[in-house]
Chains A and B, each alone.
Chain A
Amino acid sequence: AQSVTQPDIHITVSEGASLELRCNYSYGATPYLFWYVQSPGQGLQLLLKYFSGDTLVQGIKGFEAEFKRSQSSFNLRKPSVHWSDAAEYFCAVGASNYQLIWGAGTKLIIKP
């Protein structure tokens, strides 16, 4: 069955520290991969996407993600988090028709 797993419901990181949010998927073929961020009271905003090519993709707000086919993972990273990064982060996978399968989300809490 197709699925997306974000194993961490909450993650707490100190401001200025590095961040890695995990995303594992189960999918029949190489999917399109996405990370979205949702701030409180807001809709989801695309951070980055992977379709093909270089497995390390750069996104907005200093985020990057690496596609690892052997591990069926697409982890999101940021070298130094800012208080404004506090939000919920969603990983999604899907086919080209954009019927995305969404992870349950990881809530990022920033410690001052």
Chain B
Amino acid sequence: DSGVTQTPKHLITATGQRVTLRCSPRSGDLSVYWYQQSLDQGLQFLIQYYNGEERAKGNILERFSAQQFPDLHSELNLSSLELGDSALYFCASRGPNNSPLHFGNGTRLTVT
């Protein structure tokens, strides 16, 4: 158990809809990262937050947004969903200094 909790585990929704994925980082970890894993694109970094502030952006679409709350949990919001958004979405958290990333078990999103 990595200590990173993601909910829900599975999500099935229709095109055009909006969903919210939730992540609770390991206790004490201030950094949260979101990744998308799909068969054709592999593991893609989306966005990073540190103590409530956006720290870095990767290949995140404008239809997607995220935030990190004062209790350090994070949410990834995906809107105007398309079939191609179907993927596994992972959250990871990290402690200070050279601590490694710890991944949650992911949310599998299926857009129909």
Contact = CB atoms under 8 A, between A and B. Distances in A.
A97 B105 CA distance: 23
Interface string A80-92: 0000000000100
Number of chain B interface residues as a range: 20 to 34
Contact of A34 (B33, B56, B100): B100
Interface string A19-56: 00000000000001010100001111110010100000
Contact of A49 (B48, B92, B100, B102): B100
Interface in B76-101: 90, 92, 94, 98, 100-101
A51 B97 CA distance: 12
A43 B2 contact: yes
Contact of B56 (A36, A45, A97): A97
A105 B42 contact: yes
Contacts of B56: 97, 99
A43 B18 CA distance: 24
A2 interface: no
Task: Report the interface size class on chain A.
Answer: 20 to 34
A45 B103 contact: yes
A98 B55 CA distance: 11
Contact of B103 (A43, A51, A97, A103): A43
Given A102-B42, A102-B43, A42 B105 contact: yes
B58 interface: yes
Interface string A54-85: 00000000000000000000000000000000
A44 B45 contact: no
B104 A43 contact: yes
5 contacts: A43-B90, A46-B101, A96-B98, A99-B58, A100-B45
